[in-house]
Structure 1
C-alpha cells in the first residue's frame, strides 16, 4: 500500500468495522475486498456483503444457508473444519455480492405472473374467474373477460387476488391493475376498489395445488402463506385504465407469491343493489433472478436455502460483479481512497488524519500491489 498506513491494522477491529459499515453501496464492498489481502479477509470474515444486502432488502433474511451448484457439484455451508468454514464465508461473500448486483443492475422488465392461484371470492365461476385477469383485453373470443367478486351489502369488504410468479425469486417494483368497465350494463359502471395493498412471500406448502375460489378461501389463504413484504396502501381511481402502482423501492419477492388486496367498494350493481369489485387485467412488473439464483423452501416456518448456479449465465460471477484486471488497475485503491475521503467530507472527519491514514495518492497513479495480493485476488475471481 505504498507509503500510506493500513487503518484496518492501525485502528483495530471495532473502529474498522464502524468505518466499513458506513459503506452503503454493495459494489464498494467488492472494490474494498480488492485493495489488499488484509482488507479482503476483513470484508469476508465479518460478512459485510451479507449484512449490507440484508439491511437493504430485509425480505431476504430467512435464508438459513447458501449452496453453490456447479454442474453436478454442490458446495454447501454445512461443513465444520476451519478451512471449510473459511470457504463458506468466501462463498457467502460471492453469492450475496452477486445477489446485490442482480437486484440493483438494470434488466429488461417483464410481466412476472406465472399463473393465478386463487381469489377470495368469485361471483360466477369459471366465467368470471381470476384466470381472466391474465388476459390483456376486455373481450376474449367475443366474450367479456374479467374477474368479479361476490356482491356485498357492506362496501368496506375487501377481496384478495393471489398469483404465483414465474420464478421463486423476482425483483418487483410495479404492479398494474385495470378495473373492469361493464360495457354491457346501463351507464357503463366501473367496478373498481377504493384502494389496494400488496403482499409478497411464499407458500407454506409449495406442493399444495391451487384451490377453487369460495367464500372462505380468504381465510384459508391467510394460513397458507408467509408474507415477507407488505406494501403501503395506494389509492385506486374509478377509471377503466391500466393503473400503475409503483412500490417505494424494488422488492425481492422471496417465494414467488404476490397477493393483491382490493380494499373497499365504490360501485353498486342496479340488478341486486350489492357492491362488487371487478378486475379486467393485472400485471406484476419486474424481472426474475432465475436461473442464476433460486430458492428452496425447507419447512412451513419459512426457512429457505439460497441456491447459486454460477454456470447458468455462461460466465463466472467475477466477470459481472468483481472488477476485471483492467478495471482494477484504474479503480482499485485509488477509487476506494477517493470514496472514503468523500465520505469523510460529508461526515466532517478531520481531513489531515484521513489523508495520513490513506496516503495522498494521485488519481493517475496505477495501483501497486505486491504479488501475493495479486495472487490472492485471482483466487476471489476464479473461486
Structure 2
C-alpha cells in the first residue's frame, strides 16, 4: 500500500475510530490530528481527545461545556465540514481536552494540600486543631503537634477531616496519614482509627471554599455543605506510629478541590477518662494539581460544571498547530496495526484468502 495515499477514509467510520482510539499517548493523538485535513476533521468530529480523558477520569462526564481564555492566542485549525457554530464548539472541546490530556500525562507528583478546612470535633482548640496535621514536624518547640477528636464512649464513632486541595482540579493518587502516639501517656498509646475512607468533591452553591473555614472547633454537619463526586473503598489502618500510605485503586480527578477523610472506628481508650479518641499527627496528599492552568465553575443545582482553561502552555499550542509528515504518521499507525491487530488486510479491503500474497520485506514498503 502506498503510504502517500490517505488510507483512513478507505476504512470506514467504525474501523477508523477503533484505530485512532487505540492511541494511548495524548501526544500521539494530537500528532494524528495534524497529519491531514481529513484526519483532523475525524479526530475533532468524534471528540477523541475528550474520549481519552473520559476513559482515564470518569468524573469528567459531568462537564457541561468548556471555556477558553478570551485573551489566548487563537488557534488556527483546519476548516471543518462547515463554518457552523457546532463545528466551532467541537474545535474548542478538542483544544481544551487535548491540553487536559497532555497535562494529565505529565509524570509529576507533588503534595496537593493547600489548607485545612474543618474537623467534625476537636478536643482542645486551638492546641489540638486540624491545622496541626499539616505541620511536618512532630513537635513544635516542646509541644506535640497533632489533631485530637473529642472523647466518645462508642468505639465505632467516626470522625471527619476536611481539606482544601491546591486547585479546583487536582489529580490525587494517594493519601498518607500518621496516627498520633501519646508519648506523655503511660504505655505510649497510639490513637489510630480502625479504617479510613476518602471522598472528594466541591462546595455546594456559589460560595467560595474559604467561607467554610470558619468553625475550627468543628461542626458535625459541615460536610453537608459539600457535594462528594468520588468515594474510595475502605482501607484498614494500622495502630503504628508511622506515615501510612493509602494508594487509590486509580488516580482520581478531584473536581472542586475538597478532600474529606473519614476516620472510621477507634481502637484506643484513654485511661484518664475511659473514653475513646482518634488522633492524627500528619496528613499528606500526593498527586498533581492542574491549576493555575485549569479551573472549574460549578453549575448548581444540575451537578454539572464548566471546565475552564485559564492559560495554555505555548508548547502545547505549537504542537497542535504543527503538521507532521503524513507518511511518517501513517506508517506509524500501520506498523501498530501490523503488530497488534489481526485481520489488517481484511480491514484494508484486501483478499485474506490469497495465501500467495507477498509479505512486505521491510517497514519501508508500508
Task: Give the TM bin, normalised by the shorter chain.
Answer: 0.7 to 0.9
1:343 to 1:129, Cα distance in 2 relative to 1, 3 A = same
Aligned pairs for 1:333-352 within 5 A = 333-344=330-341, 349-352=342-345
Cα offsets for 1:95-125 (capped at 9, x unmatched): 1111111112112x32211111111111112
2:353 corresponding residue in structure 1: none
In the TM superposition, residue 64 of structure 1 has moved relative to its aligned partner by 1.1
Distance 2:199 2:363 in 1: 47
Query: CA separation of 1:362/1:70 partners in 2, compared to 1, >3 Å: closer, same or farther?
Result: farther
Shift of 1:29: 2.6
Contact 1:197 1:234 in 2 (8 A): yes
CA distance in 1, matches of 2:364, 2:136: 55
> Would you say the 8 A contact 2:146–2:280 is kept in 1?
yes
Which residue is equivalent to 1:291?
A: 292
C-alpha contact (below 8 Å) 1:204/1:301 kept by paired residues: no
Q: Offset at 1:236?
A: 1.2
Unaligned runs of 5+ in 2: 76-81, 351-358
1:263 aligns with 2:256: no
Q: Once the two structures are superposed, what CA deviation does each residue of 1:272-315 show, in whole Å capped at 9, x if it has no partner?
A: 1111100011111122111222222233543211111345x4x2
Gaps of 5+ in 1: 76-80, 368-383
Residue in 2 that maps onto 1:99: 100
Cα 1:130/1:330, change in 2 over 3 Å: farther
**2:220 maps to which residue?**
218
Cα RMSD, aligned residues only: 2.9
TM-score, with structure 2 as normaliser: 0.85
TM-score normalised according to structure 1 size: 0.82
Distance in 2, Cα, partners of 1:31 & 1:338: 16
> What secondary structure is seen at the aligned counterpart in 1 of 2:221?
helix
SS of 2:59's equivalent in the other structure is: helix
How far apart are the structure 1 equivalents of 2:321 and 2:37?
A: 16
- Within the alignment, does 1:227 sit opposite 2:228 as a pair? yes
Partner of 1:302: 303
User: Displacement, 1:250?
Assistant: 1.8
Distance 2:233 2:306 in 1: 28
- The offset of 1:331, in angstroms, is 4.7
Q: Work out the number of aligned pairs and report it.
A: 349
Shift of 1:12: 3.0
Q: What's the offset of the Cα at 1:20? A: 4.0
Counterpart CA distance in 2 for 1:73 and 1:322 is 13
